Structure 1
Amino acid sequence: MNEPMVTVLMAVYNGEKFLKEAMESILTQTFTDFEFLIINDGSTDNSVKIIEEFNDPRIRLIHNEKNLKLIASLNKGISLAKGKYIARMDSDDISMPDRLKKEVNFLENSLEYGLVGTYYTVIDGEGVNQRNVSYPSSNDLIKLFLSLNCPLAHGSIMGRCELFKQNLYGSKQYSAIEDYELWTRIAKVTKIHNIPEYLFKYRVYGESFSDTKTQLMYNQTLELSKKAYKNNIKEYKKLIKEQFLEESYTEEKEEVIEYVNEWLVSFVKRLLYVHEFGLALKLYAKSIKINKFK
């Protein structure tokens, strides 16, 4: 039997509320050559029952003997993946029908790129669209903005399997932002792209972020971004100069609201004394667009 082109990797812990919808969005993809590798991380709700109700041979369900948490579960999945590519998916999000097809096409035709994501739509607990978020598409801008925040939607990512196997999710120091930390390492060895289409829906609802978790993510993001900037300051200076000279970003035709969130407020207060970092903030604010739904 031929190995699948893609391993769609999902870790599930008590995800019964939105799991069925998330799985259906993968199993109805226009691209069909994939295995759906689901790591059940010790769920105590009806998650396993929901998974087993799907009669689809592409599903491969693995049970952890105990709750290992997200990072260990994802790394376990990476070690078991059979695909040429690994696509991430979370149990409360939604992938649009052409997501896998378009990501595979990009990676197949762009061999210098190891990782690809997409624009995304934020939805609430009822599935109602809240806003569209578009991150930079170019490798240079993505690399630059990794010194500010994470310009990639984790659940939308597809990457080359060997790249993931050589660069696992890792640091306990950044346990709340495991994806952002990984991308800062991967950016050193390959190019990264965002497909400029809204191919993923990211669900934000009351239960998904506690105040404690939000604060932890905030603190870890600030720490990691400072580290990333200081470790790559010469390259960032060059990138910032090039981006401002070439005006490589473009204005969207639709009405948009420039989005500068609370992370950037803290960056401005604490790091604006670095001239190049201040220019990077300005470019970030100009490039990250959010189109709110009315």
Structure 2
Amino acid sequence: MSVHRDVRFLDAAVDSLLGQTLGDFELLLVDDGSPHAERLRALAERDRRVRLVVNDRNLGLTVSLNRAAGLARAPVIARMDADDISHPDRLAAQYERLSAQPGLTVVGSNYVAVDTGGAPLRTIRLPEEDAAIRWTALFANPFCHPATLFRAADFHAAGGYDERLACAQDYDLWMRLLRRGQGANLPVPLLRYRINDQGISATRKVEQEAVAGAIRRVEWLSCGVGDLDPERVAAPVWRLQTGAPACDPSDTLALTLATLRLLDGLAARDSRNVAGLRETLAAVARRVLWTAVAALGWRLAGGWDGRRLLALAARFDAPEVAACLALGRSRAARRWAARPPDFDFACTGHAVPGAGVVPWTELSGFAGVWIYGAGEGGRAVLRVLRRLRGCRVAGFVDSVRRGGFEGLPLLSRADFLARPATGRAVVIASGAWREILEGLGGLAGQGLFVADVEGDLRLYRVPPPPGGSGSADQDGIAAGRTGNQRVEADGCPG
């Protein structure tokens, strides 16, 4: 743990470590040129396990972490920031997993994002298994840095943190550790991650995104798709998995081909070291292919691009997709695409506790779809719905406003709730979905969905709970996961 200026939450962070159920550890507390030397010394004197390391000047986070890792005497290293809180079982659970799986090089966990006062904001779900982590890593950071634990030998063999990087140094490290072995995230949230306006993620956001983009570009190049620009296509390629086709048919086709090439390149690069990788990635390939066929239908039959898709479908063992491609059977493709996803693409989805991820094609089964949110989020959802065959957009809903929006009716919430509800669906297209759910009262018996308009346009179906409230407990720490949720990690797409 490195400390520079912000010590508002330091005591609570250290206390959460000293209270671990696994008590055999040392806490290397780095004073990185802070003005709080006396306070840090006092912390070190409280417990013999706290070992103070003092830099003669401010060296920055990356150098400080390398220095601490070089001084560490244990065979395993864990990371945490000075404003976060570890669950009491964190070290024990992660160490048990690392010990039970010799091929693991790094293990993280899901986490709960909290505000500066410690109030939970949302539970964040990360990809759990190695194959999902490798695929996610091509788009975003697959680990929460202060929630990780890794072997010291692997860390040093990989070269440690790159001291040329002032931020996103963890994203770079994971790429090198995953070359040496496997990764995993525990499904239980074991960290409270504080959203801190004085942290690096807030103060150096532009630089962090630029560094993450450079790392991503290197990874795509290593998968043999150096002609693709990840900064231009990474976000729409990721969204294709959610069943949201691109605005233009030719773009959908190009993105589908790009996705399949990327999947094929990752499988070729890592399959030798990762058992079952191609089989796992095949599930992603099938979902993307169904999205393309459902959106384009007969236009894919024949032609050079159609033959390329057929060849790639065969490589990923997707005979049903290949048949639809060959015959241009968009109706059959839509039926297949409406099935629940047969792969786990956790990452970059807003946490909607109790809600399951569903493909956008599920909305084609309703007599009318209303979009709650007459703003940019609503426009994004409208663009997706207009590309779905058989989807009937009825209009927009707003808490108060009424009239029209984007050429469609705009109803106030009161007017909307007073209308007959048979066969209609509501898609909430706003970051304030919790408050909207409460205002709608659950909409029992109707289709109720939340679109991740601030992330990757993932669609969640919300089951209306008994009693009518659509909200749920956000504090999921150590209680397991309840649904696919969002990653807010360095380099996150969207």
Tell me the TM-score range normalised by the shorter chain: 0.7 to 0.9
What is the deviation of 1:217?
Answer: 1.3
What is the deviation of 1:83?
Answer: 0.6
Secondary structure of the structure 2 residue equivalent to 1:57: coil
1:138 aligns with 2:233: no
Q: Note the residue ranges of structure 2 that are not aligned, 5 or more in a row.
A: 225-264, 269-277, 287-340, 347-351, 359-379, 381-454, 460-482, 488-494
How far apart in 2 are the matches of 1:109 and 1:214?
Answer: 37
What is the deviation of 1:211?
Answer: 6.3
The residue type equivalent to 1:117 in the other structure is G
CA contact (8 A) 2:167 2:211 kept: yes
Secondary structure of the structure 2 residue equivalent to 1:111: coil
Secondary structure of the structure 1 residue equivalent to 2:98: helix
Aligned match of 2:266: 235
The residue type equivalent to 1:241 in the other structure is A
Aligned match of 1:247: 342
Alpha-carbon distance change, 198 to 284 in structure 1, aligned in 2, over 3 angstroms: farther
What is the deviation of 1:249?
Answer: 1.7
CA contact (8 A) 2:197 2:203 kept: no
Aligned match of 1:169: 161
How many residues of Structure 1 are paired with residues of Structure 2 in the alignment? Answer: 258
The residue type equivalent to 1:248 in the other structure is F
Please list, as runs of the form range in 1=range in 2, the aligned pairs for 1:106-145 lying within 5 A after superposition.
Answer: 106-145=97-136
What is the deviation of 1:283?
Answer: 9.9
Aligned match of 2:406: none
Q: Which has the higher contact order (CA 8 A, sep 6+)?
A: 1
What is the deviation of 1:205?
Answer: 2.3
How far apart in 1 are the matches of 2:139 and 2:16?
Answer: 31
CA contact (8 A) 1:93 1:201 kept: yes
1:203 aligns with 2:194: yes
Q: Return the index of the structure with the highest Cα Rg.
A: 2
Task: State the Cα deviation string for residues 19-76 of structure 1 (Å, max 9, x = none).
Answer: 10100000001110101111111111x3541452452110110101111111111111
What is the deviation of 1:140?
Answer: 0.5
Aligned match of 2:32: 41
Aligned match of 1:55: 46
CA contact (8 A) 1:40 1:48 kept: no
Please list, as runs of the form range in 1=range in 2, the aligned pairs for 1:10-49 lying within 5 A after superposition.
Answer: 10-44=1-35, 46=36, 48-49=38-39
How far apart in 1 are the matches of 2:5 and 2:187?
Answer: 32
How far apart in 1 are the matches of 2:115 and 2:281?
Answer: 35
Aligned match of 1:277: none
Percent identity between matched residues is 26
Aligned match of 2:214: 223
More off after superposition, 203-212 vs 215-224? 203-212
How far apart in 2 are the matches of 1:75 and 1:284?
Answer: 38
1:290 aligns with 2:486: yes
How far apart in 2 are the matches of 1:76 and 1:215?
Answer: 26
TM-score by length of 1: 0.79
CA contact (8 A) 2:112 2:123 kept: yes
Aligned match of 2:429: none
How far apart in 1 are the matches of 2:86 and 2:21?
Answer: 11
How far apart in 1 are the matches of 2:192 and 2:102?
Answer: 27
Task: State the Cα deviation string for residues 85-117 of structure 1 (Å, max 9, x = none).
Answer: 100011011101100010011011111111100
Task: State the Cα deviation string for residues 164-203 of structure 1 (Å, max 9, x = none).
Answer: 122200052x432000011111111110000000100111
Greater strand proportion = 1
How far apart in 1 are the matches of 2:157 and 2:281?
Answer: 30
CA contact (8 A) 1:132 1:198 kept: yes
How far apart in 1 are the matches of 2:457 and 2:182?
Answer: 19
How far apart in 1 are the matches of 2:8 and 2:197?
Answer: 13
What is the deviation of 1:148?
Answer: 0.3
How far apart in 2 are the matches of 1:147 and 1:244?
Answer: 15
Secondary structure of the structure 1 residue equivalent to 2:11: helix
Alpha-carbon distance change, 288 to 47 in structure 1, aligned in 2, over 3 angstroms: farther
CA contact (8 A) 1:120 1:198 kept: yes
Secondary structure of the structure 1 residue equivalent to 2:166: helix
CA contact (8 A) 1:11 1:70 kept: yes
Alpha-carbon distance change, 257 to 92 in structure 1, aligned in 2, over 3 angstroms: farther
Q: Note the residue ranges of structure 1 that are not aligned, 5 or more in a row.
A: 1-9, 259-264, 266-281
How far apart in 1 are the matches of 2:32 and 2:106?
Answer: 26
Secondary structure of the structure 2 residue equivalent to 1:175: coil
The residue type equivalent to 2:355 in the other structure is E
What is the deviation of 1:225?
Answer: 1.2
How far apart in 2 are the matches of 1:164 and 1:284?
Answer: 36
CA contact (8 A) 2:10 2:82 kept: yes
More off after superposition, 204-213 vs 16-25? 204-213
Secondary structure of the structure 2 residue equivalent to 1:188: helix
What is the deviation of 1:250?
Answer: 8.0
The residue type equivalent to 1:68 in the other structure is L
Spell out structure 1 runs of 4+ moving beyond 3 A. 209-212, 236-240, 242-246, 250-253, 282-288
What is the deviation of 1:240?
Answer: 3.2
How far apart in 2 are the matches of 1:85 and 1:74?
Answer: 14
